[in-house]
């Protein structure tokens, strides 16, 4: 459940998102689990809106994940999105599937579309049945008052929060072949964060006119260097869902290939927006006091560098050392060694910030405990590893592991 204390790593300001033609939003209190707080987001999408998605690779996916995968296969686009917080509708068997179907039916009636044109995402407690009847009347009311504007976007980002301490929003504006287009994105996530070909919950909207196959290619590519490069606790959620919607209202000339030079700026802007949202998730890691960027260079391949970086970022010993402001580079060595990837101890070099702490398989001869500790006291820290084996490189983001993380998750269902 959401904390009353905002993460010390939260941005100083929250962006004001512009309107996007073809996207209208509304939020409501349905009493899914929480009392006296918004827990439902409804998004109305213009006819002709195309959709793409990337989802968890957990072998125990939630019922909404299965629903969205099937809906996207139809290639018929999307007319509505329904997101609830408080209950993940995961590991709920037949009841879960029936709840999703009923939710889509209720939303479809509100939107005037087929149930298959409704995308659904849920976040919260796993294993508890979701009573979809609570959406009756609520979604119809949302559809009647849905609107655009900065406040609607801000409320949407808050509605999908669980243990998040601040809403996560980002926006970009670029051109496709001289036509201005806008991209808005929101996300939620603070715990159970170690995406595997997906994100936590994130929804990105644009008025660009792009077909589904192009959207899917762009989204899948952008995820690799954004949400798949963030981890809080090493646990991949059953509900991870990233959806990208394109209303086509901008009216740019048709694009049929994802490598079309005319969408190069759009691709860059989308990738940048996804990275920003992913970093916001790391900044809001449960109990976090420090943002950690892990950079690995000189690996045999990019894939190898990524696995080593994630091994460092997911190590409880590394993360607790960061929390304790302890420049314990030995724990980084441990995490490199356990990754199962090619590494040569005697070629290894490690930096905390701009302070090199280890080189050639031993402590740096110019090592300064005072300088290294000064780096560890900062709210944002970079851990850099040079393997000296090749050209592979990777960058991932994580946070420290504090006593507050244990407290939050020990009391989560209370």
Q: Bridge-partner residues for 230, per DSSP?
A: 397
E runs forming strands in 199-336 = 201-206, 241-246, 291-299
CA distance 271 to 85: 26
- What the block records as the tokens of 200 is 């936590």
CA distance 160 to 121: 10
User: Are 330 and 315 contacting, i.e. CB atoms less than 8 angstroms apart?
Assistant: no
Q: Bridge-partner residues for 292, per DSSP?
A: 381, 398
CA distance 89 to 102: 13
CA distance 68 to 241: 9
Binding-site annotation: residue ranges for substrate: 162, 188, 199, 286, 409, 414
Q: Quickly count: other Cβ atoms within 10 Å of residue 172's Cβ.
A: 20
Q: Which strand ranges, in their side-by-side order, compose the sheet holding 23-28? A: 23-28, 40-45, 80-87, 118-125
Residue given tokens 């939630």 in the structure block? 62
Task: List the catalytic residue out of 27, 123, 171, 199.
Answer: 199
Binding-site annotation: residue ranges: 162, 188, 199, 286, 409, 414
Question: Is 165 assigned a catalytic role?
Answer: no
Active-site residue set: 199
């Amino acid at each position: 459940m959401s904390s009353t204390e905002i993460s010390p790593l939260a941005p100083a300001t929250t962006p004001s998102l512009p309107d996007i033609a073809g996207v209208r939003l509304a939020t409501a209190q349905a009493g899914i689990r929480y009392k006296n707080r918004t827990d439902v987001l409804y998004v109305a999408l213009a006819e002709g809106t195309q959709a793409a998605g990337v989802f968890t690779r957990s072998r125990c996916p939630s019922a909404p994940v299965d629903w969205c995968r099937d809906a996207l296969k139809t290639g018929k686009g999307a007319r509505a999105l329904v997101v609830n917080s408080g209950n993940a509708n995961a590991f709920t068997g037949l009841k879960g599937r029936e709840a999703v179907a009923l939710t889509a039916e209720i939303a479809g009636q509100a939107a005037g579309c087929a149930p298959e044109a409704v995308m659904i995402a849920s976040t919260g407690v796993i294993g508890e049945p979701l009573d979809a009847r609570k959406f009756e009347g609520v979604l119809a009311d949302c559809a009647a008052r849905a609107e655009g504007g900065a406040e609607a976007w801000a409320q949407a980002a808050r509605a999908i929060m669980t243990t998040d301490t601040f809403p996560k929003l980002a926006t970009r504006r670029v051109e496709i072949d001289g036509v201005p287009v806008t991209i808005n994105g929101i996300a939620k996530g603070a715990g159970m964060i170690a995406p595997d070909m997906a994100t936590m919950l994130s929804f990105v909207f644009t008025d660009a006119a792009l077909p589904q196959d192009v959207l899917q290619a762009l989204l899948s590519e952008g995820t690799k260097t954004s949400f798949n490069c963030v981890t809080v606790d090493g646990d991949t959620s059953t509900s991870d869902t990233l959806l990208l919607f394109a209303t086509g209202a901008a009216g740019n000339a048709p694009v049929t290939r994802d490598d079309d030079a005319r969408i190069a700026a759009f691709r860059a802007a989308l990738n940048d927006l996804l990275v920003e949202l992913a970093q916001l998730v790391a900044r809001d890691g449960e109990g976090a006091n420090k943002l950690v960027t892990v950079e690995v260079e000189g690996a045999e391949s990019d894939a190898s560098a990524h696995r080593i970086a994630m091994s460092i970022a997911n190590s409880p010993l590394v993360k607790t050392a960061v929390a304790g402001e302890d420049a314990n580079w030995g724990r980084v060595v441990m995490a490199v060694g356990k990754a199962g990837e090619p590494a040569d101890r005697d070629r290894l070099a490690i930096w905390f910030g701009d302070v090199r702490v280890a080189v050639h398989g031993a402590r740096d001869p110019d090592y300064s405990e005072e300088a290294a500790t000064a780096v560890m006291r900062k709210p944002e820290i970079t851990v850099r590893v040079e393997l000296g084996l090749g050209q592979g490189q990777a960058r991932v983001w994580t946070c420290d592991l504090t006593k507050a993380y244990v407290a939050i998750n020990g009391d989560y269902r209370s």
